[in-house]
Amino acid sequence: MNLITAEHLTHTYTGRLLFDDASFYLNENEKVGIVGINGTGKSTLLKIIAGREEPGQGTVTTARNLRMGYLPQNPVFTSGTCVLDASLPLKEEISNEQDSFIPQAKSLLGKLGIKDLTQDIEKLSGGQRKRIALVRTILTPADVLILDEPTNHLDSAMASWLEEYLASYNGAIIMVTHDRYFLDSVANRITEIDKGKLYNYNCNYLGFIEKKAEREEMERATERKRQSILRTEIAWMQRGARARSTKQKAHIARYEALRDTKAPVTDAAAQISSVSSRLGKTTIELKDINHSYNGNVLIKDFTYIFLRGSRIGITGANGCGKSTLMNIISGNIKPSSGEVTIGQTVKISYFAQENESLDNSMRVIDYIREGGEVVKTSDGTVSASVMLERFLFPPEQQYSLIGRLSGGEKRRLYLLRILMEAPNVLLLDEPTNDLDITTLTVLEDYLDTFDGIVITVSHDRYFLDRTVTRILSFEENGVIKQYEGGYTDYINASGRKLAVTGNINNTKDFTKPQDSSKSLNRNNWKDGQEKKKKMSYKEQREYETIEDDIAQLEEKLENIEADILKYAHDFVKLNELSSQKDEISNNLSEKMDRWMYLEELAQQL
């Protein structure tokens, strides 16, 4: 059963085209993950589907009496509300009393690490408010859950619990998340937003990576075929097209359509060369570190020497002291007791959980230029503008105001500024929050060649598996214990539960597109045949009628597309017409392949 259909969506934000005649659908029990580069409109799409924002053009149709639960990226609460009340479903969204949800709310708040239920919501951190909003959304009776970054600010245990909950959820889900293990486990369909269009893949995240590579290769193959056909058509036109007959007019129209078709646009790969300063013999040494806060012991008797080339991941429950340890390492705070030694050549850059205060009235390129007009990389001296392009900020966006960027784009800009400072010690505190998967892949590749020390706090299991070689785990009572390997190795060694679909060490790399050329062998009429010097009698007869066949298929396709618009609200008829459209499109593609082959034979006569 179709639950939601969004058709012909065209929408702009701050002058940028997000959707260009795009369409989206949701069927019963589907669990859809929305992916795309920051700034492409993922959160906007969720708002439009949830009815929180009107599209510039297009319609959104929902099934009768459909109930939707919506978790925004930045939830808002009524001023003066306590934690427990804020976690309860809104009165207008439920039929029974709010008090009936209190037992469940208390249980879920406990699972998500919220203990003080009487505290004013305004006194909590953004991460705590997001978790409370997640409880409110889960408790709201709904046929569809719409979740914008549900795993942000969840520790690994919480993320695993939510993963299991959503995987077994008896309803449909639409979610935006950059947690690749989470997507792979929960989603059974991936919708990608790319250059204003929406592409659907009926698979989990790993399948999406493979199918996206196939789609892009198919687009490149289609463009090569278009160029080849276009050359043939140009030669035909130059021989003198006779425009008197209907068939010849259709042929000329097809040539013009081919000529005017835009070639597929390929994304520039976001990339940044490893940039670091020389690191001397003495790096960072912690000796007998103890630290307490409000009477709670966060760190107890911790001694550690960070060696050059170290890749350290720090994990533990929310509030255990991970960010405190990072601030002690960076020198931002002093420990209650113990000694911190930082070498003279150490240059620390700290990518904090929250962006530094960005001046929204400043231009993007000016913010980067504050770090330097040029930067020395392994590729030579590179200007700030080129570095921005490598990090997916095209020239036209570089001179726009920071205030016009999305939250994820600001996060990416902040990361670029940090990396351009050429540190030799890189502190990353929850780097995966609000960064799109493409940028995370770039960061992971950058860390592969980074010559300094990397210390990261993260609950992203994939990111830790991908980037670190040792885990520092916060145990009970401030004890920090070491585990060798990545996150999966830590889970195996510690006996903790890992709710992921596989170990990065024994599955295909999610971030590396697979070679799909072998699976793209289409039904090409020329495959396996030697080139003939002349047509057979049967081929000659076929050649005389194939253009009429193509014209008829094109006419059928136009009629089907018109019917799709006519029956936009009849979901049963719409599915039937969509299947017919796919079949006709495939037949048309095969006919075009066959016509191209016969045309080449005809030219040799």
Q: Please report how the helices 571-603 and 205-238 are oriented relative to each other, as an axis angle in degrees rounded to 10.
A: 50
pLDDT at 379: 65
| Alpha carbon 446 to its chain's center | 18
Give 597 or 400, the one with higher predicted confidence. 400
Confidence category of residue 261, pLDDT binned at 50, 70, 90: low
State both tokens at 376.
């020395």
Query: Taking residues 596-604, what's their average pLDDT?
Result: 69
Q: If we measure between CA atoms, which residue out of 24, 277, 45, 229 comes closest to residue 148? A: 45
Pairwise CA distance, residues 486 & 474, whole Å: 15
pLDDT at 257: 63
pLDDT at 480: 94
How deeply is 603 buried, as exposed, middle or buried, from its count of CB atoms within 10 A (0-12, 13-18, 19+)? exposed
Residue whose entry in the numeric block shows the structure tokens 């609000």: 434
DSSP 531-555: PPSS--HHHHHHHHHHHHHHHHHHH
State both tokens at 196.
């204003």
Whole-model pTM: value is: 0.69
For residue 427, the one-letter residue type is: L
Q: Is the per-residue pLDDT at 260 higher than 70?
A: no
Q: Is the per-residue pLDDT at 122 higher than 60?
A: yes
**Phi-psi bin for 195: left (phi > 0), alpha (psi -120 to 50), beta?**
left
Check if the beta carbon of residue 163 is closer than 8 Å to that of residue 499: yes
Residue whose entry in the numeric block shows the structure tokens 């540190």: 423
pLDDT at 319: 82
Pairwise CA distance, residues 431 & 68, whole Å: 30
Q: Is the per-residue pLDDT at 432 higher than 80?
A: yes
Confidence category of residue 531, pLDDT binned at 50, 70, 90: very low
DSSP 265-291: PPPPPP----------S--EEEEEEEE
pLDDT at 484: 93
Pairwise CA distance, residues 184 & 201, whole Å: 13
Query: Taking residues 455-469, what's their average pLDDT?
Result: 92
Number of other residues whose CB lies within 10 A of the CB of residue 18: 24
Q: Is the per-residue pLDDT at 265 higher than 60?
A: no
pLDDT at 244: 45
When the pLDDT of each residue in the chain is averaged and rounded to a whole number, the result is 82
State both tokens at 220.
């490149």
pLDDT at 313: 95
478: which DSSP letter?
G
Confidence category of residue 476, pLDDT binned at 50, 70, 90: confident
pLDDT tens sequence across 320-345: 899 999 999 998 999 999 999 999 89
Query: Taking residues 589-602, what's their average pLDDT?
Result: 74
pLDDT at 71: 95
Confidence category of residue 271, pLDDT binned at 50, 70, 90: low
Query: Taking residues 189-216, what's their average pLDDT?
Result: 88
Query: Taking residues 141-167, what's their average pLDDT?
Result: 91
Pairwise CA distance, residues 268 & 270, whole Å: 6
pLDDT at 571: 63
| Alpha carbon 470 to its chain's center | 27
Pairwise CA distance, residues 458 & 471, whole Å: 11
Give 523 or 325, the one with higher predicted confidence. 325
Least confident of 180-194, 362-376, 439-453, 569-583: 569-583
Query: Taking residues 504-521, what's their average pLDDT?
Result: 37
